[in-house]
Structure 1
Amino acid sequence: MTLIYCIGDIHGCFTKLQALVNRCIDDAAGRSMRFIFLGDYIDRGPQSRETVEYIIGLQRARPDHVICLKGNHEDMAVAAYDDDAWLENWLANQGRSTLQSYNISSARDLPPAHIRWLRSLPTSTQDRHRFYVHAGIHPHRPLAAQDEFDLLWIREPFLSSAKQFELYIVHGHSPQLDGHPDIRPYRLNIDTGAGHGGPLTAAVFDDEHRPPLYFITFK
């Protein structure tokens, strides 16, 4: 049996991330494990650079056991790097904190290796029971026909949908400011507002059960 530790939006909260990853490793206690990160590694919090470097290192050390998805904040950062016309939009969405963490003033000065990594991130992954994505899916389309914009940005009509999807949807993007995951019959939101001062949360799954077994958080 493999334990899956799925971690929600980090937003530059490196201290919370490092502590939560260590708790997950301790929880696995030597059993087979895999990490899935749902994106939004950067912006808002003070340590975006440290967060990106840490996750790249974790993925390099465990290449078959760490999956990193793209969030809308990574999408904005890459767009700002490619085209100055996107810079103001990124800065308006807390991109300035990321520039400060790199001690730079322009998106063009972001490290090329980090941009290559951000650009390479997939927008979703799935297993036998679950579909993992940053923001969610459009409820009126099958999973195989989803639009990248929706995977990165959607809120409605996804969040209010009561539709039973093909797989259990695990997502972040919409912060739960009460600090608790939003558990629904057909989806789970584990963005517990780390970038807003809330905890960072990992949902723990296994190969046999569809919903989460339990949660691990770090405040």
Structure 2
Amino acid sequence: MSKIYAVGDVHGCLDQLQGLVELCERDAGEGRSKFVFLGDYIDRGPESRGVIEFLMDLQKWSPDEIICLRGNHEELLLGALEGEDAELNWRQNGAKFTLESYQASTPGDIPLRHIDWIRSLPLFHEDGMRFFVHAGVHPDRSLHQQRPRDLLWIREPFLSSNKDFGRLIVHGHTPIFSGVPDQRTNRLNIDTGAVYGRPLTVAVFNTRIAAPVQFFSADPILN
């Protein structure tokens, strides 16, 4: 049976990411598997460049099975390349750590191949039972009429909505300070705040039911 591994917000936490991917690969064994990374690979944490290079390399070997979505922090970086006000906004949201990881002084110093990869990232992925997205969806619109800004940035009214979206919405973006995934009937938040000293989380899915069948954590005690 195929397994799908959804990975929460990484924010430069390369060691946790590498350890969790290795754990998932061992779990999948010889079976088919797919990874969906929910965005926010950069900013706030120490190894943004390493995270991007790791994901690019992973995707190069299995492009159909490694889905990397864009997060709002990737969007902030792309905006910073366009103007001074947007660059200031990015710098106020953890860009310092990203620039340091690239030994760069401006966003324009980041390698073009990394920028091109970030530009190529889709805003969502769906598999028939689940809709994977960085931030969430607006309850007043159908899944295929969502605005990019909501997919990347929304919190309310999404987080408090009980609406049945026709898919389980699997998202990150809003850190859960308990470090435990927030599982509801209509959505699942797996941003467990890895960059704030808590473990990175993976939700494991199969092709039979929409809900997660298991969680893996970068904290081995929780697995």
TM-score category (smaller protein): over 0.9
Secondary structure class of the residue paired with 1:215: strand
Report the Cα distance in structure 2 between the residues aligned to 1:169 and 1:2, rounded to whole angstroms.
19
Whether the 8 Å contact between 1:44 and 1:98 is mirrored in structure 2 is: yes
Q: Does 1:141 align with 2:141?
A: yes
Secondary structure class of the residue paired with 1:93: coil
Query: What's the counterpart of residue 72 of structure 2?
Result: 72
The one-letter amino acid of 2:164's match is: Q
Report the Cα distance in structure 1 between the residues aligned to 2:151 and 2:176, rounded to whole angstroms.
18
Between the two proteins, the alignment pairs up a number of residues equal to: 219
Whether the 8 Å contact between 1:5 and 1:203 is mirrored in structure 2 is: yes
Structure 1 gaps, min length 5? none
- Name the TM-score, length of structure 1 as normaliser: 0.99
Q: CA offsets per residue over residues 167-205 of structure 1, 9 Å max, x none? A: 110000000111100000110000000011111011000
User: Identity over aligned residues, as a percent?
Assistant: 51
List 4+ stretches of structure 1 deviating above 4 A: none
Query: What's the counterpart of residue 214 of structure 2?
Result: 214
Report the Cα distance in structure 2 between the residues aligned to 1:61 and 1:180, rounded to whole angstroms.
31
Q: Does 1:177 align with 2:177?
A: yes
- Name the TM-score, length of structure 2 as normaliser: 0.97
Provide the aligned C-alpha RMSD in A.
0.7
Report the Cα distance in structure 1 between the residues aligned to 2:179 and 2:38, rounded to whole angstroms.
17
Structure 2 matches for 1:113-152, cutoff 5 A?
113-152=113-152
Q: CA offsets per residue over residues 133-179 of structure 1, 9 Å max, x none? A: 00000011100100000000000000011111121100000001111
Report the Cα distance in structure 2 between the residues aligned to 1:113 and 1:107, rounded to whole angstroms.
13
Q: CA offsets per residue over residues 79-113 of structure 1, 9 Å max, x none? A: 11232321110011101110011011101111100
The range that moved more, 128-137 or 74-83, is 74-83
